[in-house]
Amino acid sequence: MSLAVRAPAGDVIAQVGDHARLWTLAPGELSNLENARMPILAEGKPWADLDIAFPPATPQTLAGWLRDPFVEGISLISLLGFVVFQLYLRRVLRYLDPNSAVPERVRTAFDTLSEAVLVLDPDGNVMLVNRAFRSLREDVKDDIVGTPVANMAWLLSSLPPEAELPWQAAVRENRALLGRRLHVDLPDGRRRELVMNCSPISDGTGRVRGCLASFDDVTELHERTERLRVALDELSASQREIERKNEELTIQATRDPLTGCLNRRALMQEAEQRVRAAHAGGESLSCIMCDIDHFKSINDQFGHASGDVVIQAAVKSLSRGMRLGDLLGRYGGEEFCLLLPNTSIRQALEVAERLRAEVESHVGAALRQPARPRVTMSFGAAEWSAVVPGPVELIDFADQALYRSKQNGRNRVTAWTPTAVATEPA
């Protein structure tokens, strides 16, 4: 590349070529493949040095390396090897095609299953699907085998948001995961209800080689269940309506329509039960009969509508003085009967007196008339005992005491006794 004659002091005496750029050897440094130094002697003594610069032994640029014979040989051999490998691999892959690897009888057996079946390898690639799985959606293609299951966005979107997919968990834990419910939206807007089960596939050594996922279409069952639920709701509503109607009928059959208290028939049925209970338990039971005084004159003076108002007001006054468990019934037109369990005749007289004062103070005010009448009631009380055969006789004895109150001037309380009828002054 260049030559130079250099004096011992280092000065260049003569040179050929761009020696200053090509010469890189330092003074005293040994020669190398690119720079060689040879001494020149005169009469056996050093006179000067001959510096010779050779081209580099290895390429210094990419283009130089590419033109290097050794590199060109290696590249040619690599290219020929790659072409041969591709031809060989292409021939081998024809035998490793998943569709070809699975025998036809296996695919036929899977296609006979009514459940949709999806077989995956440990990496989540589809190895086998049956006809039922392809029929889940119209956009499931036949060439799905060999593709990642992640490409089926409709399937992933139907799963609940979890950190790990069910088939991945089944492979990792080597156990079956059952009963995962899915909602698959179809392109036409309909929705399918599926139940997914994932089971790991193991070889003879227990190593997990994949996962089998089955999908049971329960859409029709869900729809039938929903229709059954609606029918049951309608039946329950009908049953509640029937119960309500029965309650209304019971009220109509046992209650007085004007006052809402028990009618005479229901009162007598309840009275028989109370008498039997008192007899069985050895408890006291008292009956109070009461009647609105001069009620006909109220009807004649103010009209029957006002008479109804007086009857309703009287029932309200009587109800305010009753305990839980006491019975109040309309015995006749303006006559009422009260049954008081666990009540002696003395207590019954106190109750009757309190009710008499309540009626006298408030019932007349119920009539919105300029001249309000003074409304009073007469009371008769009797206590059940061994000499009283039954409820009819008990009510009759209380009614006799009421009749005596009427005879003695009304607006008073009278008690019945076996020997005589005592009167409490008003």
> Catalytic residues, which ones?
334
398: helix, strand or coil = helix
Q: Which residues contact 194 (CB under 8 A, 6 or more apart)?
A: 116, 136, 158, 181, 182, 183, 184, 215, 216, 217, 218, 219
Vertex 251, ends 248 and 254: CA angle to 5°?
A: 150
Helix axes 219-254, 264-281, angle to 10 degrees: 90
Conformation bin of residue 131: beta by default, left when phi > 0, alpha when psi is -120 to 50 = alpha
50/38 Cα distance (integer angstroms)? 5
Pick the closest to residue 114 from 193, 225, 218 (CA basis).
218
Order of all β-strands in the sheet with 12-16: 12-16, 2-6, 45-53, 35-42
**HEC-encoded secondary structure of 377-388:** EEEEEEECCCCC
Q: Is residue 180 within 8 Å of residue 197, measured between CB atoms? A: yes
Q: Parallel, antiparallel, or unpaired: how do β-strands 2-6 and 35-42 relate?
A: unpaired
Q: What share of the chain is helix, strand, coil (3-state, %, to 5)?
A: 45, 25, 30
Token pair 């029965």 in the structure block, residue:
246
- Please answer whether residues 18 and 70 qualify as being in contact, where contact means their C-beta atoms are separated by less than 8 angstroms: no
Contact 278, 285 (CB under 8 A): yes
What are the tokens at 79? 């290219």
